[in-house]
Structure 1
Amino acid sequence: MSNEERRDSLADQAAAWIPPWQRPAPESTAPDPATPDPATPDPTTPDPATLDHAAADRGAPDHAEPTGELAAPESTEPRVAEDLGAEVSLEGPSRTTIAEEGAGRRPRSGRTRVVPEPPPVLDDAELRGALEAILLVVDEPVSELTLAQILEQPAERVGPMLDEIAASYTAAGHGFELRRAAGGWRLYTRPEYATYVERFVLDGQSVRLTQAALETLAVVAYRQPVTRSRISAIRGVNCDGVIRTLVTRGLIEECGIESDSGAYLYRTSTMFLEKLGLNSLDDLPPLAPFLPDDVEELADAAR
């Protein structure tokens, strides 16, 4: 065949070629299900080669004869489920556990969540008594929020209960009242009984000083800072008890330690100036007119 004839033959074939998607579907004849196809193997008939490979995988001897019934292959679903369950338990709680915790039930397995018990709900009588007990010991107004936190009760109950307590005190005519002050609540005495309260508070505070206390206070005022031993030497008697009394009354106070002896030094306090109506120690009257004429001889004899 020449080149020209071969070229014409290829051109004819290309022109006659039809794409697969444009070709008409071939007519197929459905096989009769009752007539078995000899080329199709029967699925119920075991393949000897397959049996030999399965026996080799299970470690069975090569000469084992196949039986009439085939053993069903071991299912891998339980093993996969166990593996998935192990992974879930290692990584965290499963969906079932989370659902049970959300429903308020205790999960069957895994970590358990400790739910704190809710605080007890106090009835009105117990809540009123607890509030009154706290208000008796406070030294400054306490807020409703603080009371609610201490009693572990909602603030919506504490506020109305305080109003009810205050109204009951006023209606009963008690000598004290519950008032709101500085953003909180506190018990106060009623203004109409202020005279009796002042008389009780001020009673005993106008006690006169003894002669020994006045002498000791004068020594401290004019010779401060001074030690106990020096005061005792000037007065000629032990003055430890008197000094403790003056310190308790707030008229004298400690002001350091003497470097030579290590004894405490004492001086007059601010209350001393307030009681005497003095602005400073310079306002003290001069001591010279009250001293005897032979004060120097007495001082030398004391040394």
Structure 2
Amino acid sequence: MPTVGLVLNPAARGAERARAEVAIACAEAAQPPPVVRSTTVADPGPGQARELLGLGCRRLVVAGGDGTVREVVGATDPVATVGIVPCGTADLAARSLRLPLRARPAARLAVGADASPVDVGRVEVWQEDGSSIRLPFLVVVGVGHDAEVLASLSPVAKARLGWLAYVTPGLRRLHRPGRTVEVRVDDAVEQQERAWSVLAVNGGRLPLGARLVPGARMDDGLLHVAVVAPRRLREWGRVAATGVGVRHRRHPALRYRSGQVVEVRMRAPGPLQVDGDVVPRAVSARITIKPGAVRVAREH
């Protein structure tokens, strides 16, 4: 019976290196070679995950970016273990889980480490034409300028620059005004926000050690809502200081709430991002969290 199944995104940077390192890690652990299934545009991970589970694989290793990881996690049997070998642009899921970013140590951990429960988010997005789409996520759902930055990025820039591809487009939007959004957390009264961005965060550790929400964990059973609403350019300094842990005082430029259900309505259609993947022309979303829904191989 196969032990390890590998869901591989062949378009990801370092995909072949990840494949080789997972095979080496299996050999070092005296396990059979991994059963490999590659993602496609038509099926970016769920079908491959279900097939490997049907073949008897009780450990699924994902080699790809945040989009591939969330697709596999959303289709995984709760009894199975998921391992992650990050090969994406930002790899926020791996960063938030404090996993290695280099292929060899990541593969060894993914194949051999014990697993612990991790929360998984679900978002239902309604678009301007009345259609809706349901997606899993591990890290963050965002509306506003952060989603617009992601929507503007070219695949070439992401492949060439990695996470640095986000920096220049983001800086160019810092001076732009916020958008009006209605936000409800759990059963609280809906609040109208004029925000640069509204984020529903499960994990959210960024490159260089910054965090979307200081103190948020992927196993605390909560969604952490961050309303990013600087009124002047100089207030971005306060937002940045909070992100790197220098300052945690409350201030109007960055406000937090926590709960298990978040509902967002936009005054005008716009992009919504789910772990870096963009849903265009969104008008509303309902975001939930399922505590401990997946077991992830990681250090304890």
Q: Give TM-score, length-normalised by structure 2.
A: 0.17
Task: For CA contacts below 8 A with separation 6 or more, give which structure has more relative contact order.
Answer: 2
Q: Give TM-score, length-normalised by structure 1.
A: 0.16
